[in-house]
Structure 1
């Protein structure tokens, strides 16, 4: 396995962990991996899944990562991870 492939798998694993550890009823993170399309899509539902669909343009954030270029994909996954982690921290501060 090349270093780039390992970085890609690590990035996917980190985002999966983020989905599990940072999601709650008011801030849900879902990930969809489409290997045949070479893409990873991350959805952030602000206010929870059911609430977010009442106004999807304001409450649903969709991040698409193209996996066809492993180096660029690894960088984009890191940026998405950091962005979502910061959103989750901000959400928790608002809830307090």
Structure 2
């Protein structure tokens, strides 16, 4: 089950679209801080213990460099097979400052 990756430039175009839910799966206190867009903070360690209720059908996950967001997408896809999950390619490190 491959998770599609979304490029940083595409992410910037859709980050404020209310049909997408954006989730930061980094652990608490990780830097850099995410700014300039709305998101939920659900660390991967918590996600593995408790699957959240997701309202949107399209979910973009991000982490520091793009690995944990792929893991998180796999976890969520098992719980929500009818929803679409995307991982931010290269993580927050690839986003330009907002």
**What band does the TM-score fall into relative to the shorter chain?**
under 0.3
> Higher relative contact order by CA 8 Å / sep ≥ 6: 1 or 2?
2
Higher-Rg structure is 1
- Counting helix residues as a fraction of each chain, which structure ranks higher? 1
Q: TM-score, normalised by structure 2?
A: 0.27
Q: TM-score, normalised by structure 1?
A: 0.28
